[in-house]
Amino acid sequence: MHNADLITPQHLARKAVIYIRQSTPHQVVSHQESLRLQYALGARAHQLGWPDEAIDIIDDDLGLTAATAHHRPGFNLYGSDSSKLASAFSEMV
């Protein structure tokens, strides 16, 4: 069974949220392959059936530590309830 076979209409009715981040400015500069792979998740969501308008890529927090959430606008966009992001991530796997 392929990953695409696991995606149901119920999945596609929800947004695909891709939260991209690296913890330090140094990681942003030094780990370009990681960034490329994280951004490629948007294309993967499209391949799995999500329309472009239903794919949210949040990259506002690149280079910001995860020690606290109050200064991370991308994370706060979906609230501090990490289950929302975890649910979105599980849609992509």
Among 9, 4, 69, smallest CA distance to 19 is for 69
Catalytic residue, from 23, 34, 83, 87: name it.
23
- Distance separating alpha carbons of residues 32 and 54, to the nearest angstrom: 26
| Axis crossing angle, helix 32-47 with helix 82-92, rounded to the nearest 10 | 70
Active site residue 23: yes
- The catalytic residue positions are 23
